[in-house]
Structure 1
Amino acid sequence: MTVAEAGCTVPRQFSYTTRPYAAVDDATGAPIGLDEIDLRVRWLLDLIGAAQSELVSRLWQPATFDTLTAGRDSQGRRLPAQGHVTAARLGWNPSYPTGVYVPSRVTRVVTAQAVGTLRTLAYRDHAISALSARFDPATRRLAPPTAAGDYVPAGFARGVARHLAARSRRAESASHERLRITDVQTPPRTSVMARLAAADKQLSQIAVTDAVMTLTVKLPTYEAPAGRAHWRRVRLTAAIPPHLHTRAITDWHLPTLVLDHRGLLLRCAATEQIPTADLSGGATAVGVDWSPATLGAAAIVTERPDGLVSDYRGFTYDDRGLGIKLARLQAEGQHLHRKAARLTRLAATAPPEVRAELEGKIAVLDAHRAAVGVKRGKINRELAFHFARHIVEYAAAAGAAVIGVEDLTTLETRGHGRVNNNRAAQSARRKAVDALAHTATGAGVTVVSVPARGTSALCPGCNETLSRPGGYHRAWCAKCKVGGNRDHVAGVNLAKRALLGRRAAIRKRGQNPQIRIAEHAPVRQCRDKTSPTPSRPRHRRVRRSVPTATPQAGVNQRRIVPAPRASVWDTVKPAPASHVVTGSREVRTSPTSATSVAGSMSYVDAARRRSSPRRRTSAPRPS
Structure 2
Amino acid sequence: MAGLMATATCTAFGGVLEGSGERVGRALLFERVGFLAELSRDLTGALVACRWDEASLDVLAAGVDERGEVLPSKGWMALRRLNWPQDVTSRAGVYVSDRVRRGAEEYAARTLRLALHRRTIVTAVLATWPADPRRRSEAEWTALRGLLPAGVSGAEIRNRTRQIRAYQAEHGKLPAGLCVLEGPPQVAPQVLLAAMDRQQVTLQRVDETTARLRVKLPLNAVPASGRDWAWHVIDIRLPGTVTVDAVLHTPTLRPTPQGRIAVGLPHSRPAPPVKASGHTVALGFDWGVNTLLTGVLGRLTGKGPTRRVLTDGRPLVFDATTVSAALHRLRGVREHLAAKRDHYRALADGLGSPHLAWGGEYLDRARVLEVEHGRVCARIRHLNHALAWAAARWAVDQAVALGASVLYLEDLATLEARGHRRGNARLSGQVRGMVAEAIGHLGARAGIAVV
Tell me the TM-score normalized by structure 2.
0.85
1:521 equivalent in structure 2:
none
Give the distance between the partners of 1:205 and 1:373, measured in 2 at CA: 33
2:223, 2:229 within 8 Å by CA — same for their partners in 1?
yes
Report the alpha carbon displacement of residue 435 of structure 1 after superposing the two structures with TM.
Answer: 0.9
Name the CA shift for 1:327/1:145 in 2 (closer, same or farther; >3 Å).
farther
Name the CA shift for 1:446/1:106 in 2 (closer, same or farther; >3 Å).
same
1:317, 1:387 within 8 Å by CA — same for their partners in 2?
yes
For the pair 1:407 / 2:411, whether they are aligned, the reply is yes
As a proportion of its length, which structure holds more helix? 2
1:555 equivalent in structure 2:
none
Give the SS at the match of 2:232: strand
Give the distance between the partners of 1:355 and 1:287, measured in 2 at CA: 64
2:237 equivalent in structure 1:
239
For the pair 1:255 / 2:247, whether they are aligned, the reply is no
1:230 equivalent in structure 2:
228
1:137, 1:165 within 8 Å by CA — same for their partners in 2?
no
Report the alpha carbon displacement of residue 38 of structure 1 after superposing the two structures with TM.
Answer: 1.9
Report the alpha carbon displacement of residue 41 of structure 1 after superposing the two structures with TM.
Answer: 1.2
Tell me the number of residue pairs that the alignment of Structure 1 and Structure 2 aligns. 433
Report the alpha carbon displacement of residue 281 of structure 1 after superposing the two structures with TM.
Answer: 5.1
Give the distance between the partners of 2:206 and 2:34, measured in 1 at CA: 28
Give the SS at the match of 2:24: coil
For the pair 1:71 / 2:63, whether they are aligned, the reply is yes
Name the CA shift for 1:338/1:64 in 2 (closer, same or farther; >3 Å).
farther
Alignment-mate amino acid for residue 161 of structure 2: A
Alignment-mate amino acid for residue 440 of structure 1: G
**Cα shift readout 1:404-427 (whole Å, capped 9, x = no counterpart):** 112343x42356745314531442
Aligned pairs for 1:14-413 (under 5 A) are 14-20=6-12, 23-93=15-85, 94-136=88-130, 141-142=135-136, 143-146=140-143, 148-150=146-148, 152-171=152-171, 177-211=174-208, 212-246=210-244, 248-249=245-246, 251-260=247-256, 261-280=258-277, 282-305=279-302, 307-319=308-320, 321-333=322-334, 360=363, 370-409=374-413, 411-413=414-416
Report the alpha carbon displacement of residue 288 of structure 1 after superposing the two structures with TM.
Answer: 0.9
Give the distance between the partners of 2:193 and 2:279, measured in 1 at CA: 43
Give the distance between the partners of 1:418 and 1:124, measured in 2 at CA: 27
Report the alpha carbon displacement of residue 390 of structure 1 after superposing the two structures with TM.
Answer: 1.3
Give the distance between the partners of 1:134 and 1:155, measured in 2 at CA: 17
2:8, 2:242 within 8 Å by CA — same for their partners in 1?
no
Report the alpha carbon displacement of residue 316 of structure 1 after superposing the two structures with TM.
Answer: 1.6
1:25, 1:32 within 8 Å by CA — same for their partners in 2?
yes
**Cα shift readout 1:520-563 (whole Å, capped 9, x = no counterpart):** xxxxxxxxxxxxxxxxxxxxxxxxxxxxxxxxxxxxxxxxxxxx
Name the CA shift for 1:371/1:437 in 2 (closer, same or farther; >3 Å).
same
1:284, 1:303 within 8 Å by CA — same for their partners in 2?
yes
Give the distance between the partners of 1:435 and 1:234, measured in 2 at CA: 33
Which stretches in structure 1 are left out of the alignment for 5+ residues?
1-8, 449-623
1:447 equivalent in structure 2:
450
**Cα shift readout 1:554-593 (whole Å, capped 9, x = no counterpart):** xxxxxxxxxxxxxxxxxxxxxxxxxxxxxxxxxxxxxxxx
Report the alpha carbon displacement of residue 340 of structure 1 after superposing the two structures with TM.
Answer: 7.7
Alignment-mate amino acid for residue 165 of structure 2: A
Tell me the TM-score normalized by structure 1.
0.63
1:101, 1:228 within 8 Å by CA — same for their partners in 2?
yes
Report the alpha carbon displacement of residue 398 of structure 1 after superposing the two structures with TM.
Answer: 1.3
**Cα shift readout 1:240-282 (whole Å, capped 9, x = no counterpart):** 3345344x32x21011112232522322111110110124455
Name the CA shift for 1:140/1:442 in 2 (closer, same or farther; >3 Å).
closer
Name the CA shift for 1:328/1:269 in 2 (closer, same or farther; >3 Å).
same
Give the distance between the partners of 2:429 and 2:70, measured in 1 at CA: 38
Give the distance between the partners of 1:258 and 1:392, measured in 2 at CA: 32
Give the distance between the partners of 1:285 and 1:307, measured in 2 at CA: 13
Give the distance between the partners of 1:189 and 1:198, measured in 2 at CA: 20
For the pair 1:433 / 2:436, whether they are aligned, the reply is yes
1:26, 1:233 within 8 Å by CA — same for their partners in 2?
yes
Give the SS at the match of 1:19: strand
Which moved further from structure 2: 220-229 or 257-266? 257-266
Give the distance between the partners of 2:282 and 2:354, measured in 1 at CA: 63
Give the SS at the match of 2:205: strand
**C-alpha RMSD of the superposition:** 3.2
Aligned pairs for 1:518-529 (under 5 A) are none
The structure that has the greater radius of gyration is 1
Report the alpha carbon displacement of residue 368 of structure 1 after superposing the two structures with TM.
Answer: 5.8
Aligned pairs for 1:445-524 (under 5 A) are 445-448=448-451
2:11, 2:237 within 8 Å by CA — same for their partners in 1?
yes
